[in-house]
Structure 1
Amino acid sequence: MEKDNINNGVFLKVHISLFTSGVAAKLGKYLTTLLAIASYMDEKGECYPTQRQLAERTGTTKNLINRHIKALLDFEVDGKPIITRRIVYNNRGYANSIYTIHPISQVSIFHGEVAAVQKQS
Structure 2
Amino acid sequence: MTDENQRLVSVESQSEYNVTSGKAETRIFVKMYVDAVKKGLIADIGAERWQTLCVLSSFMNANGECYPTQDQIAGALNLSRAAANRRIKALCEYRWQERPLVVKQKARDPKTQRWDNARYTIMPISQLAIFDGDTEELT
TM-score by length of 2: 0.68
Structure 2 counterpart of 1:94: 114
Say which structure is richer in helix. 1
**1:40 equivalenced with 2:59 (yes/no):** yes
Aligned pair count reads 111
Say which structure is richer in strand. 2
How far apart are the structure 2 equivalents of 1:47 and 1:12?
Answer: 17
Between the two proteins, what is the percent identity of the paired residues? 30
For structure 2, the 5+ residue unaligned runs are 1-19
Per the TM alignment, residue 25 of structure 1 is displaced from its structure 2 partner at its CA by: 3.0
Structure 1 counterpart of 2:73: 54
For structure 1, the 5+ residue unaligned runs are 115-121
Matches of residues 11-50 of structure 1 in structure 2 within 5 Å?
A: 11-16=28-33, 17-28=35-46, 29-50=48-69
Change (3 A) 1:113 1:65: farther
TM-score by length of 1: 0.77
How far apart are the structure 2 equivalents of 1:81 and 1:31?
Answer: 14
More RCO (CA 8 Å, sep 6+): 1
How far apart are the structure 1 equivalents of 2:113 and 2:36?
Answer: 38
